[in-house]
Amino acid sequence: MDTIAFPLVTDTELALPLYVDIIGHWGNQETIDRMNGFPHYQWLQVASGEGELIIGEKSYSVKNGQGFCLFPGVPHRYYATREPWDVHFVSFGGSLCEPLFQQAGITESGVYATADGEVLISHMRSIYAMSQSDRPFLGLECSKLLYAMLLDLMKVVRVSSHSAHQSLSRLHPVIQYIEAHAGSLITIEDLAGTINVTPQYLCLLFKKAMRMRPMEYVNRERISRSKQLMFRESTLKMQEIAKLSGFDSASYFSSVFKRLEGVGPEQFKKMHGMR
């Protein structure tokens, strides 16, 4: 069944980092020809059939399980080549659109393979259902659902063999190792060995997935543990907390803590009412 909704967009919604402009579904997508592009971002997910997307001089086939993204102001045309071309779509705006697309490796209009297109279709169905409900502040509610969908793009969109999602999956054993051994000595060689790669390649994976180096992640895990110890073991001295958290000296612990938290550990305790 064809569906389309235009959630109310007021100045309140326009001030949000994300807002939904149009949400809907066509059982058989009609030909769309926009010589001047469209004013908002769009994501369209194909549920069945096949179509053709034309952007500039490039032509793309769009099949079941694929999605296509259209950036604002980009001239485009798309039409069915094998009917019915079943397409779910959402149009949206806001300052977070581009950063969230970049997180998923999407930097331009085009066609993208999805590991699980049903996840995105489910999100769009939820947004449409919300737009038809009688809940107050529908624009805000739709914004929250859109945010969840765009976060899931990072999990399901297959951009390349070096995508952030694939790097995250590859790093899972390393993260588990860090969590299990954060309180003791950890070397970059230890971490690289958990997935049989070189330290240099491990750094590349971390930069791709986490935007930081492996040992910086280790320090963040240790600082997180130190805060838990401050809360649970109020009688411990900072030297003891530093050692239990995996730091070889209290001064280095204090230096890392202040760099990451903006305040020293003692001041952090006072700020949060810890004795």
Q: What is the pLDDT of residues 159-207, one digit of tens each?
A: 544 455 566 778 889 999 999 999 999 999 999 999 999 999 999 888 8
What is d(CA 206, CA 244) in angstroms, rounded to the nearest whole number? 25
What is d(CA 93, CA 237) in angstroms, rounded to the nearest whole number? 50
Which backbone phi and psi does 126 adopt, to 5 degrees?
-65, -40
Looking at the 3D structure of the chain, how many domains does it have?
Answer: 2
Q: Which of 139, 158, 177 is the last residue of a domain?
A: 158
pTM of the prediction? 0.68
Q: Are residues 129 and 44 in the same domain?
A: yes
Q: Which of 135, 158, 181 is the last residue of a domain?
A: 158
Over residues 246-262, the mean pLDDT reads 94
130: domain CATH number is 2.60.120.280
Q: Are residues 194 and 234 in the same domain?
A: yes
Instruction: State residue 162's pLDDT score.
Output: 46
Question: pLDDT class for 59, splitting at 50, 70, 90?
Answer: very high
230: domain CATH number is 1.10.10.60
Q: Are residues 81 and 128 in the same domain?
A: yes
Q: Which domain holds residue 232?
A: 165-271
Q: Are residues 185 and 97 in the same domain?
A: no
Contact (CB, 8 A) for 224 and 230:
no
Contact (CB, 8 A) for 93 and 21:
yes
Residue with more model confidence, 172 or 31: 31
Q: Are residues 30 and 49 in the same domain?
A: yes
Q: Are residues 223 and 103 in the same domain?
A: no
CA geometry: angle 101, 106, 107, nearest 5 deg: 100
Q: Are residues 117 and 76 in the same domain?
A: yes
Predicted confidence (pLDDT) at residue 16 exceeds the cutoff of 50: yes
Average pLDDT, the chain: 91
Q: Are residues 120 and 191 in the same domain?
A: no
Predicted confidence (pLDDT) at residue 138 exceeds the cutoff of 50: yes
Q: Are residues 129 and 11 in the same domain?
A: yes
Over residues 22-26, the mean pLDDT reads 96
**Run of H or E including 86:** strand 76-93
Q: Are residues 135 and 27 in the same domain?
A: yes
Q: Are residues 146 and 201 in the same domain?
A: no
Contact (CB, 8 A) for 222 and 186:
no
Instruction: State residue 165's pLDDT score.
Output: 56
Q: Which of 108, 139, 158 is the last residue of a domain?
A: 158
Instruction: State residue 164's pLDDT score.
Output: 55
The model's pLDDT over 193-245, given as tens digits with 9 standing for 90+, comes to 999 999 999 998 888 778 899 999 999 999 999 999 998 888 899 999 999 99
Contacts of 268 (CB under 8 A, 6+ apart): 227, 230, 257, 261
What is d(CA 132, CA 23) in angstroms, rounded to the nearest whole number? 11
Residue with more model confidence, 226 or 115: 226
Instruction: State residue 110's pLDDT score.
Output: 93
Q: Are residues 149 and 21 in the same domain?
A: yes
Predicted confidence (pLDDT) at residue 101 exceeds the cutoff of 70: yes
